[in-house]
Amino acid sequence: MALIAEKELRIALLIDADNAPADKIDEILTELSTLGVINVRRAYGNWTKSGLNAWQAKLLEYAIKPIQQFDYSKRKNASDMAMTVDAMDLFYADRPDAFGIVSSDADFTPLVMHLRSKGAAVFGFGAAQTPKPFVNACSRFLYLEALGSDLEGASLVERDSDGEPAAAAKSGEAAAPGTPARPATLRVPTAQLRQDARLLALLRDAVNAVQDEAGWALVGAVGSQIANKASFDPRNYGYANLTKLLAATQAFEMRDEGSSRVSVRNKRQGKNAAP
């Protein structure tokens, strides 16, 4: 019997061009393509402005449909409202599995929360100054400063040694909650990671929840356990995947590294384990 191919996510990408740099679109599309097929690609802005000239060549190169939105009042663009209306229309008419929202504007937070409450995953992309409510509302949020970093094997999807998506990635949900005090284009050093009490607590709680009798937990299961808590991408700390971030904290023992069965154990648990 032939194996049935796993259904790919259908993704609608909506870009707030007034609030996003054109030079990151290639990396954004690469990230989303690891999750599924980007069926809808739209960029919103007042295209009469010279500030959006950099986007024009990108629109043609990547088949992105420009949506014209004039400014109805000074010092306030209307692109966010147009994006919100279109997102709702797309969701109820076409039912995409996920949305990619490119913006650093916190005004999209209610939209993201609504889409997620209705079962759609939302993958956000924005600058370092993006307000935390918007960042945390997304299924996963990746800082644009971390895109294109020289991280070997980096991907929005956590994968095992065979290149297969881990359980959390297959579901279209986030890998783990928590964001660093600042987005990292360079690796956050171990000393700083160990001072991040919230991050360590979240990681330890997840390991404790899925560990076996000896205290070992599969990294894929750790990611799945904390998938629904908040937005997270290990590259925001400068690490290519969750495994490398866990190792960098030096709070966990590692077993079967480089395999699909890579596991971690709280070092505190290991000290109490029977010999």
DSSP letter at 202 equals H
Residue matched to tokens 């960098």: 248
C-alpha to C-alpha distance for 157 and 172, rounded to whole angstroms? 9
C-alpha to C-alpha distance for 153 and 187, rounded to whole angstroms? 15
- Contact yes or no for 98/75 (Cβ under 8 A): no
Mean of all residue pLDDT scores within the chain? 80
Please indicate whether residue 36 or residue 179 has the higher confidence score (pLDDT). Answer: 36
- Structural domains of the chain in order of their starting residue, each with its CATH number: 7-148 (3.40.50.1010), 161-275 (3.30.420.610)
C-alpha to C-alpha distance for 172 and 120, rounded to whole angstroms? 9
Residue matched to tokens 């065979």: 162
| H or E segment to which residue 224 belongs | helix 219-225
Q: Could you give the C-alpha distances from 126 to 105, 142, 183, 242, in angstroms and in order?
A: 8, 7, 11, 21
pLDDT of residue 93: 95
pLDDT confidence bin for 272, thresholds 50/70/90: low
- Contact yes or no for 169/35 (Cβ under 8 A): yes
- Contact yes or no for 79/108 (Cβ under 8 A): no
- Contact yes or no for 107/21 (Cβ under 8 A): no
- By percentage, how much of the chain surpasses pLDDT 70? 76
pLDDT at 77 over 80: no
Spell out the residues 6+ positions from residue 268 whose beta carbon is closer than 8 angstroms to its own: none
Average pLDDT estimate for 252-261? 87
- Contact yes or no for 223/158 (Cβ under 8 A): yes
Q: Which of 193, 194, 225 lies closest to 207 in space, CA to CA? A: 225
- By percentage, how much of the chain surpasses pLDDT 90? 40
Task: Look at 3-12, 33-42, 91-100 and tell me which has the smallest mean pLDDT.
Answer: 3-12
pLDDT at 213 over 50: yes
